[in-house]
Amino acid sequence: MVDFVRHSDVISNGSGISAGVAAVSQISLWRNYAPKIYAVNYQDSIAPGQTANFVFQFDDKQTPWVSRYKDRNYNGGPWLSYSIDWEGDGVIDITGSATFDETPIPWPQQPRFWMWTDGIQTSTLYLDHIYDISGNYNAVVKVWDSIESTTLEVPIHVIPEPATLLLLGLGGMFSRRLKH
């Protein structure tokens, strides 16, 4: 599976029944309304010190999109929150919230409320990151709404430029020549 959906229909407090229900929900994808993550654009191979550009798109599905706030959900919280672990080492490097790309309009039934088109709403996030050390990384992106979450791993390969490899090779040959 490209993304791993963690449903939170039941609060998982470690007891057998809640953990079991969460696992069944997770495996069967019974209520697949969890937000989706798409890596719309990114560089999977970069050189150390080079800026990597990422474009992520978050989608969430809900029938009523109405709020008292123009940029937040009905309770004043974010529509979508996210966290990113750039290296995949378990340490969260960045967190934030995302608003919808669509501009809300006043709700006809309640002019002091805001309304978005029913169905799927999208948030687009543009981010940059610099990897300083060569290696293979899995950038872990997690997005959640007030109920459920989704995680996506994006493989990133940080490889030295060919000129750097050539210089390293020549340096090794030169040091070997000095030993003889």
Q: What domains appear along the chain, each with residue ranges and CATH number?
A: 1-32 (no CATH), 34-179 (2.60.40.150)
Distance from C-alpha of 165 to C-alpha of 19, rounded to nearest angstrom: 50
Which parts of the chain register pLDDT below 50? 1-31, 165-166
- Say whether pTM exceeds 0.75: no
Residue found by looking up tokens 């999977």 in the block: 44
Q: Which residues pair with 111 in a beta bridge?
A: none
pLDDT score recorded for residue 172:
59
Say if CB 8 and CB 26 are below 8 A apart.
no
Q: What tokens does 99 get?
A: 């608003």
